[in-house]
Amino acid sequence: MPEYVFPPPPQPFLPIRGSSAVFPIRRIFCVGRNYAEHAIEMGSDPTREPPFYFTKPADAVVIGGADTPYPTRTRDLHHEMELVVAIGRGGSHIPVGEALSHVFGYCAGLDLTRRDLQNEAKKTGRPWDMGKAFDHSAPMGDLVPAAGIDCSRGRIELRVNGELRQASDLSKLIWSVPEVIANLSELVALAPGDLIMTGTPEGVAAVVRGDLLEGFIEGVGEVRTRIV
Ligand code: MN
């Protein structure tokens, strides 16, 4: 072990339902436009695009139902409710048929987005990072071990202050969980601790301070945070 000039940062983690052990987070990959109706609402053609990715830092997660501070430099903070896949076994060039054997578990997550900064970045051809990868941009619920979970179907929904904002089904993912894992593993070597946010269905919209966000994925669980 080297001698560090200051203490190394704490290891970000996700709690695991029914376990006192936790899941150490390595990286967070996010799939863009993975539900047809959301691609259409964002002005894209859902039929022709291969999957594409952006990332968030591991320490962007907000866990345990903690509050999420409204970020600086935006007037248009959007919710994106998503299924999160947690990789337990790494690999490159993972075949679609073997992809699910690399999954440790799943959780419900929010890809919070400074939509105004993301739109500006799209217009100017600049990176999305400051629209997507800011502090506290990834509230997540407890991880649920994969055994017995069928990630190919199940309701996914988000309520804001009790009102239904997003409602869809995992069966509507353009690129399925195994296809995303296989495709992403062609671009990077996946490693234990990696999280993949699989994209949001339609209904994204702005939230303001005081809003309570409650997401639910059938068979997986919940994510909950208040914007403060
Ligand atoms: Mn997203």
Q: Which tens digit of pLDDT belongs to each residue from 188-220?
A: 999 999 999 999 999 999 999 999 999 999 999
The amino acid occupying position 146 is A
Q: Which tens digit of pLDDT belongs to each residue from 8-49?
A: 999 999 999 999 999 999 999 999 999 989 888 988 888 767
Tell me which H or E stretch contains 179: helix 177-187
Q: How far is the CA of 124 from the centre of ligand 1 (A)?
A: 20
Bridge partners for 223 per DSSP: 215
138 burial (CB, 10 Å; 0-12 / 13-18 / 19+) is buried
Residue 39: the pLDDT is 86
Please tell me whether residue 154 adopts helix, strand or coil conformation.
Answer: coil
In the structure, ligand 1 is a single-atom ion and the residues with CB under 5 Å from it are: 80, 111, 200
Residue 46: the pLDDT is 81
Q: How far is the CA of 5 from the centre of ligand 1 (A)?
A: 36
Q: How far is the CA of 140 from the centre of ligand 1 (A)?
A: 13
Domains detected in the chain: 13-226 (3.90.850.10)
Q: Which tens digit of pLDDT belongs to each residue from 101-152?
A: 999 999 999 999 999 999 999 999 999 999 999 999 999 999 999 999 999 9
Q: How far is the CA of 9 from the centre of ligand 1 (A)?
A: 26
Residue 48: the pLDDT is 66
Give the pairing of strands 77-78 and 81-87: unpaired
The mean per-residue pLDDT over the stretch 151-178 comes to 97
Q: Using CA atoms, how far apart are residues 210 and 68, in angstroms rounded to an integer?
A: 10
* Residue tagged 């936790």 (tokens): 22
With a CB cutoff of 8 Å and minimum separation 6, the contacts of 8 are none
pLDDT cut 90: percent of the chain above it: 93
Q: How far is the CA of 3 from the centre of ligand 1 (A)?
A: 39
Q: How far is the CA of 54 from the centre of ligand 1 (A)?
A: 9
Q: How far is the CA of 98 from the centre of ligand 1 (A)?
A: 25
Cα separations in angstroms, 145 against 18, 19, 130, 208, 210: 9, 10, 32, 33, 32
Q: How far is the CA of 51 from the centre of ligand 1 (A)?
A: 12
Are the beta carbons of 101 and 128 closer than 8 angstroms?
no
Residue 47: the pLDDT is 77
